[in-house]
């Protein structure tokens, strides 16, 4: 299962490259602009970018360690593969659409098309909430079928992997909530657009992580 770790490393490398490209491709006359409100100046934007890069690096390392432990633990004799709930396929589809909706919103933000920002954020939030609720339903279905978290190591890892991913989704939803509230209030639209761009990347990242985790669960 070393290929899983390689995939996660490639994900991080690609995202870091994309972020650096966005930073260095900024027009000089844009980078030199200093806002009248200093807290939203270029340095603040770059700080958010660096913060996201750091977060993605930490999250990638976290899931890489979990996947590594998963592959080592499954080689022991008490490992009993579980039957993944069918709702996970629907959840995956919902998360894909949520990521696409966020990309659509991000593109509108780049074009300064403010009329599409709030609808796009609301749709993204609703779809992401459906994904999290769907994951909870999957856990309930496993419990109803007698496959509890303490039944065997495979079950424990399933709940831990999906739970850890859901927690990171909820963390993103906190930032989504703040950006959406600011959009509704009509304040600070420039910083909101920046938040949307960074959040969209975070959503894409979590989608890729989920696809890797889901593929690992299905194959083992």
Task: Show the DSSP H helices in 74-86 as ranges.
Answer: none
Which range (86-90, 128-132, 145-149, 201-205) has the least confidence? 145-149
Question: What pLDDT does residue 35 have?
Answer: 39
Q: Which 3 state secondary structure label does DSSP give 169?
A: helix
User: In this structure, what DSSP letter does residue 186 have?
Assistant: T
pTM of the model: 0.79
Q: Which helix (H) or strand (E) holds 51?
A: helix 42-73
- What distance in Å separates the CA atoms of residue 35 and residue 74, rounded to the nearest whole number? 54
**Topology (CATH) of 2-219:** 1.20.120
Task: Show the DSSP H helices in 74-188 as ranges.
Answer: 87-110, 117-144, 153-185
- The domain locations on the chain are 2-219
Mean model confidence pLDDT for the chain:
80
Q: Is the pLDDT of residue 89 over 80?
A: yes
Which range (25-29, 111-115, 155-159, 177-181) has the least confidence? 25-29
- Cα radius of gyration rounded to whole Å, the chain: 19
The stretch 166-189 carries a mean pLDDT of 87
Instruction: With both helix axes pointing from N to C terminus, report the angle between 117-144 and 189-219 in degrees, rounded to the nearest 10.
Output: 30
Question: What pLDDT does residue 203 have?
Answer: 93
Q: Is the pLDDT of residue 155 over 80?
A: yes
**Cα 163–208–173 angle (5° rounding)?**
55
Question: What pLDDT does residue 25 have?
Answer: 47
Q: Is the pLDDT of residue 194 over 90?
A: no
- What distance in Å separates the CA atoms of residue 219 and residue 157, rounded to the nearest whole number? 14
Work out the pLDDT band at 37, boundaries 50, 70, 90.
very low
């Amino acid at each position: 299962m070393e290929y899983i770790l390689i995939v996660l490393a490639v994900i991080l490398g690609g995202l870091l490259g994309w972020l650096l490209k966005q930073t260095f491709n900024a027009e000089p006359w844009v980078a030199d602009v200093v806002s009248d409100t200093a807290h939203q100046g270029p340095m603040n934007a770059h700080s958010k970018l660096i913060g996201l890069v750091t977060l993605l690096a930490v999250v990638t390392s976290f899931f890489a360690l979990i996947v590594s432990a998963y592959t080592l633990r499954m080689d022991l004799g008490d490992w009993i593969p579980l039957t993944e709930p069918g709702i996970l396929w629907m959840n995956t589809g919902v998360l894909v659409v949520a990521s696409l909706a966020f990309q659509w919103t991000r593109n509108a933000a780049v074009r300064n098309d403010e009329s599409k920002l709030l609808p796009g954020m609301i749709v993204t939030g609703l779809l992401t909430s459906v994904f999290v609720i769907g994951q909870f339903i999957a856990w309930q279905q496993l419990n109803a079928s007698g496959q509890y978290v303490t039944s065997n190591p495979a079950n424990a890892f399933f709940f831990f992997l999906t739970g850890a991913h859901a927690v990171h989704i909820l963390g993103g939803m906190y930032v989504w909530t703040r950006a959406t509230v600011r959009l509704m209030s009509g304040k600070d639209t420039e910083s909101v657009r920046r938040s949307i761009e960074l959040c969209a990347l975070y959503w894409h990242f979590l989608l890729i992580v989920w696809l890797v985790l889901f593929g690992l669960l299905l194959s083992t």
